[in-house]
Protein backbone atom coordinates (compact mmCIF):
# COMPACT_ATOMS: atom_id res chain seq x y z
CA UNK A 1 0.00 0.00 0.00
CA UNK A 2 1.02 3.61 -0.49
CA UNK A 3 2.84 5.43 2.29
CA UNK A 4 0.74 7.81 4.38
CA UNK A 5 1.77 11.17 2.98
CA UNK A 6 -0.78 13.14 4.98
CA UNK A 7 -0.29 12.28 8.68
CA UNK A 8 -2.11 15.46 9.72
CA UNK A 9 -5.07 14.58 7.45
CA UNK A 10 -4.71 17.69 5.29
CA UNK A 11 -5.38 15.63 2.20
CA UNK A 12 -8.62 15.10 0.31
CA UNK A 13 -11.34 13.06 1.95
CA UNK A 14 -13.08 12.44 -1.37
CA UNK A 15 -11.15 11.71 -4.55
CA UNK A 16 -12.83 11.16 -7.92
CA UNK A 17 -10.97 9.56 -10.82
CA UNK A 18 -11.57 9.59 -14.56
CA UNK A 19 -9.86 6.31 -15.43
CA UNK A 20 -8.64 7.05 -18.96
CA UNK A 21 -6.14 5.31 -21.21
CA UNK A 22 -7.10 1.62 -21.16
CA UNK A 23 -7.50 1.44 -24.93
CA UNK A 24 -4.24 3.20 -25.72
CA UNK A 25 -2.43 1.02 -23.17
CA UNK A 26 -3.64 -2.07 -25.01
CA UNK A 27 -2.89 -0.67 -28.46
CA UNK A 28 0.69 0.10 -27.40
CA UNK A 29 1.00 -3.65 -26.75
CA UNK A 30 -0.72 -4.63 -29.99
CA UNK A 31 -3.64 -6.05 -28.08
CA UNK A 32 -7.39 -5.39 -28.40
CA UNK A 33 -8.90 -2.54 -26.41
CA UNK A 34 -10.73 -4.94 -24.10
CA UNK A 35 -7.36 -6.27 -22.95
CA UNK A 36 -6.67 -2.79 -21.62
CA UNK A 37 -10.04 -2.60 -19.88
CA UNK A 38 -9.31 -5.86 -18.06
CA UNK A 39 -5.93 -4.49 -16.96
CA UNK A 40 -7.63 -1.30 -15.80
CA UNK A 41 -10.15 -3.25 -13.72
CA UNK A 42 -7.29 -4.95 -11.87
CA UNK A 43 -5.80 -1.51 -11.12
CA UNK A 44 -9.00 -0.46 -9.35
CA UNK A 45 -8.35 -2.98 -6.56
CA UNK A 46 -4.90 -1.53 -5.85
CA UNK A 47 -6.18 2.05 -5.72
CA UNK A 48 -9.10 1.14 -3.44
CA UNK A 49 -6.74 -0.70 -1.09
CA UNK A 50 -4.45 2.34 -0.93
CA UNK A 51 -7.18 4.73 0.22
CA UNK A 52 -7.19 4.09 4.00
CA UNK A 53 -3.43 4.58 4.33
CA UNK A 54 -3.55 8.03 2.71
CA UNK A 55 -6.71 9.26 4.41
CA UNK A 56 -9.12 8.94 1.47
CA UNK A 57 -12.53 7.94 2.81
CA UNK A 58 -14.49 8.35 -0.43
CA UNK A 59 -13.38 7.21 -3.86
CA UNK A 60 -15.54 7.73 -6.94
CA UNK A 61 -14.50 6.21 -10.27
CA UNK A 62 -15.82 6.83 -13.77
CA UNK A 63 -16.38 3.38 -15.28
CA UNK A 64 -18.77 3.98 -18.20
CA UNK A 65 -20.28 7.21 -19.44
CA UNK A 66 -23.58 7.93 -21.17
CA UNK A 67 -21.47 8.73 -24.25
CA UNK A 68 -19.62 5.40 -24.23
CA UNK A 69 -22.56 3.68 -25.91
CA UNK A 70 -21.19 5.23 -29.13
CA UNK A 71 -18.28 2.79 -29.08
CA UNK A 72 -18.34 -0.41 -31.12
CA UNK A 73 -20.83 -3.08 -30.12
CA UNK A 74 -17.92 -5.45 -29.47
CA UNK A 75 -16.32 -3.09 -26.98
CA UNK A 76 -19.58 -2.18 -25.24
CA UNK A 77 -20.63 -5.82 -24.89
CA UNK A 78 -17.18 -6.71 -23.61
CA UNK A 79 -17.31 -3.92 -21.04
CA UNK A 80 -20.70 -5.07 -19.78
CA UNK A 81 -19.36 -8.62 -19.34
CA UNK A 82 -16.36 -7.17 -17.53
CA UNK A 83 -18.58 -5.22 -15.12
CA UNK A 84 -20.61 -8.35 -14.32
CA UNK A 85 -17.47 -10.41 -13.81
CA UNK A 86 -15.87 -7.73 -11.64
CA UNK A 87 -18.86 -7.61 -9.30
CA UNK A 88 -19.09 -11.40 -9.07
CA UNK A 89 -15.37 -11.85 -8.38
CA UNK A 90 -14.77 -8.89 -6.10
CA UNK A 91 -17.93 -8.86 -3.98
CA UNK A 92 -16.63 -11.06 -1.14
CA UNK A 93 -13.26 -9.29 -0.90
CA UNK A 94 -14.89 -5.85 -0.94
CA UNK A 95 -17.15 -6.94 1.90
CA UNK A 96 -14.29 -8.35 3.99
CA UNK A 97 -12.10 -5.29 3.38
CA UNK A 98 -14.74 -2.89 4.71
CA UNK A 99 -15.53 -1.26 1.37
CA UNK A 100 -19.03 0.10 0.87
CA UNK A 101 -19.97 0.08 -2.80
CA UNK A 102 -22.57 2.27 -4.46
CA UNK A 103 -23.38 2.92 -8.10
CA UNK A 104 -24.46 6.18 -9.71
CA UNK A 105 -25.88 6.74 -13.17
CA UNK A 106 -29.00 5.79 -15.10
CA UNK A 107 -29.63 2.06 -14.66
CA UNK A 108 -32.57 1.96 -17.09
CA UNK A 109 -30.36 1.16 -20.11
CA UNK A 110 -28.34 -1.55 -18.37
CA UNK A 111 -29.27 -5.21 -18.65
CA UNK A 112 -31.32 -6.74 -15.84
CA UNK A 113 -28.63 -9.20 -14.69
CA UNK A 114 -26.07 -6.44 -14.27
CA UNK A 115 -28.53 -4.24 -12.37
CA UNK A 116 -29.37 -7.14 -10.05
CA UNK A 117 -25.67 -7.68 -9.34
CA UNK A 118 -25.27 -3.96 -8.64
CA UNK A 119 -28.24 -3.93 -6.28
CA UNK A 120 -26.99 -7.02 -4.45
CA UNK A 121 -23.47 -5.62 -4.02
CA UNK A 122 -24.84 -2.37 -2.62
CA UNK A 123 -26.94 -4.32 -0.13
CA UNK A 124 -24.12 -6.73 0.75
CA UNK A 125 -21.69 -3.92 1.62
CA UNK A 126 -24.22 -1.46 3.07
CA UNK A 127 -22.83 -1.70 6.62
CA UNK A 128 -19.20 -1.11 5.63
CA UNK A 129 -17.53 2.22 6.37
CA UNK A 130 -13.77 1.86 5.87
CA UNK A 131 -13.84 3.10 2.28
CA UNK A 132 -16.84 4.33 0.31
CA UNK A 133 -16.37 3.28 -3.32
CA UNK A 134 -18.81 4.84 -5.78
CA UNK A 135 -18.82 3.51 -9.34
CA UNK A 136 -20.26 5.75 -12.07
CA UNK A 137 -21.87 3.40 -14.59
CA UNK A 138 -23.89 4.76 -17.52
CA UNK A 139 -23.29 8.13 -15.91
CA UNK A 140 -23.12 11.64 -17.36
CA UNK A 141 -23.13 14.89 -15.43
CA UNK A 142 -25.66 16.62 -17.68
CA UNK A 143 -27.87 13.54 -17.68
CA UNK A 144 -27.73 13.43 -13.87
CA UNK A 145 -28.75 17.09 -13.50
CA UNK A 146 -31.51 16.63 -16.08
CA UNK A 147 -32.90 13.61 -14.21
CA UNK A 148 -32.67 15.52 -10.93
CA UNK A 149 -34.57 18.47 -12.41
CA UNK A 150 -37.30 16.13 -13.65
CA UNK A 151 -37.66 14.57 -10.20
CA UNK A 152 -37.84 17.98 -8.60
CA UNK A 153 -40.43 19.15 -11.16
CA UNK A 154 -42.55 16.11 -10.35
CA UNK A 155 -42.40 16.98 -6.64
CA UNK A 156 -43.62 20.47 -7.49
CA UNK A 157 -46.45 19.05 -9.61
CA UNK A 158 -47.48 16.86 -6.69
CA UNK A 159 -47.51 19.85 -4.36
CA UNK A 160 -44.69 18.58 -2.17
CA UNK A 161 -42.42 21.46 -3.24
CA UNK A 162 -43.00 25.00 -4.48
CA UNK A 163 -40.78 27.07 -6.75
CA UNK A 164 -39.71 29.01 -3.65
CA UNK A 165 -38.19 25.81 -2.23
CA UNK A 166 -35.89 25.36 -5.20
CA UNK A 167 -32.28 26.30 -4.52
CA UNK A 168 -28.88 24.66 -4.91
CA UNK A 169 -29.26 22.69 -1.69
CA UNK A 170 -32.64 21.34 -2.76
CA UNK A 171 -31.41 20.30 -6.21
CA UNK A 172 -28.43 18.49 -4.69
CA UNK A 173 -30.85 16.24 -2.78
CA UNK A 174 -32.13 14.89 -6.11
CA UNK A 175 -28.70 14.09 -7.55
CA UNK A 176 -27.33 10.55 -7.72
CA UNK A 177 -24.60 11.62 -5.26
CA UNK A 178 -26.92 12.89 -2.53
CA UNK A 179 -25.22 10.49 -0.09
CA UNK A 180 -21.70 11.78 -0.86
CA UNK A 181 -19.67 14.84 0.09
CA UNK A 182 -18.45 16.82 -2.91
CA UNK A 183 -15.09 15.67 -4.25
CA UNK A 184 -12.04 17.54 -3.03
CA UNK A 185 -9.79 16.28 -5.81
CA UNK A 186 -10.52 15.01 -9.32
CA UNK A 187 -7.77 13.06 -11.09
CA UNK A 188 -7.72 12.24 -14.79
CA UNK A 189 -5.16 9.82 -16.14
CA UNK A 190 -3.72 9.45 -19.68
CA UNK A 191 -2.68 13.05 -20.33
CA UNK A 192 -6.06 14.34 -21.47
CA UNK A 193 -7.06 17.66 -19.87
CA UNK A 194 -10.86 17.61 -19.93
CA UNK A 195 -13.57 16.56 -17.49
CA UNK A 196 -15.76 14.61 -19.93
CA UNK A 197 -19.13 15.33 -18.32
CA UNK A 198 -18.08 13.87 -14.94
CA UNK A 199 -19.53 15.21 -11.68
CA UNK A 200 -20.19 18.62 -13.20
CA UNK A 201 -22.28 19.92 -10.30
CA UNK A 202 -20.30 18.32 -7.51
CA UNK A 203 -16.85 19.41 -8.70
CA UNK A 204 -17.55 23.14 -8.73
CA UNK A 205 -14.77 23.75 -6.19
CA UNK A 206 -12.71 20.59 -6.61
CA UNK A 207 -9.01 20.69 -7.38
CA UNK A 208 -8.00 18.94 -10.61
CA UNK A 209 -4.90 16.92 -11.39
CA UNK A 210 -4.22 15.71 -14.93
CA UNK A 211 -1.52 13.06 -15.07
CA UNK A 212 0.14 11.57 -18.13
CA UNK A 213 0.10 7.98 -16.88
CA UNK A 214 -2.33 5.62 -18.60
CA UNK A 215 -4.81 4.13 -16.14
CA UNK A 216 -3.47 0.53 -16.13
CA UNK A 217 -0.06 1.95 -15.13
CA UNK A 218 -1.40 4.32 -12.45
CA UNK A 219 0.09 2.77 -9.32
CA UNK A 220 -0.83 3.18 -5.68
CA UNK A 221 2.48 5.00 -5.22
CA UNK A 222 1.61 7.59 -7.86
CA UNK A 223 -1.87 7.89 -6.42
CA UNK A 224 -0.34 8.58 -3.00
CA UNK A 225 1.95 11.22 -4.46
CA UNK A 226 -0.92 13.06 -6.16
CA UNK A 227 -3.01 12.94 -2.99
CA UNK A 228 -0.03 14.04 -0.93
CA UNK A 229 0.49 17.12 -3.09
CA UNK A 230 -3.08 18.20 -2.42
CA UNK A 231 -2.12 19.50 1.03
CA UNK A 232 0.02 22.25 -0.52
CA UNK A 233 -2.90 23.77 -2.41
CA UNK A 234 -4.79 26.78 -1.07
CA UNK A 235 -8.54 26.37 -1.49
CA UNK A 236 -10.30 29.75 -1.21
CA UNK A 237 -13.77 28.92 -2.61
CA UNK A 238 -14.00 32.29 -4.33
CA UNK A 239 -12.60 34.30 -1.41
CA UNK A 240 -9.16 35.92 -1.19
CA UNK A 241 -6.22 35.01 1.02
CA UNK A 242 -6.06 36.66 4.41
Q: Point out the residues that are catalytic.
A: 20, 68
Coil, strand, or helix at residue 207?
A: strand
User: Can you tell me the distance from the alpha carbon of 70 to that of 91, in angstroms, rounded to the nearest whole number?
Assistant: 29
Helix axes 73-96, 112-124, angle to 10 degrees: 20
DSSP letter at 156 equals H
Phi, psi of 52 (to 5 degrees): -60, -40
Nearest alpha-carbon partner for 2 in 221, 231, 225, 226:
221
How far does the chain reach from its first CA to its final CA, in angstroms? Answer: 37
Amino acid sequence: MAKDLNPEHTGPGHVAIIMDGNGRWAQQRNRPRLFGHHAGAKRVREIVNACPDIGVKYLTIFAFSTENWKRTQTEVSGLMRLFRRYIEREARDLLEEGVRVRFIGDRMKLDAKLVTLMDNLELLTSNNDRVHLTIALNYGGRDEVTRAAKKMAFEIEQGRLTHKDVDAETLAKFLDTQFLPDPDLVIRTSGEARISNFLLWQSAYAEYEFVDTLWPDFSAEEFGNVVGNFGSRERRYGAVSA
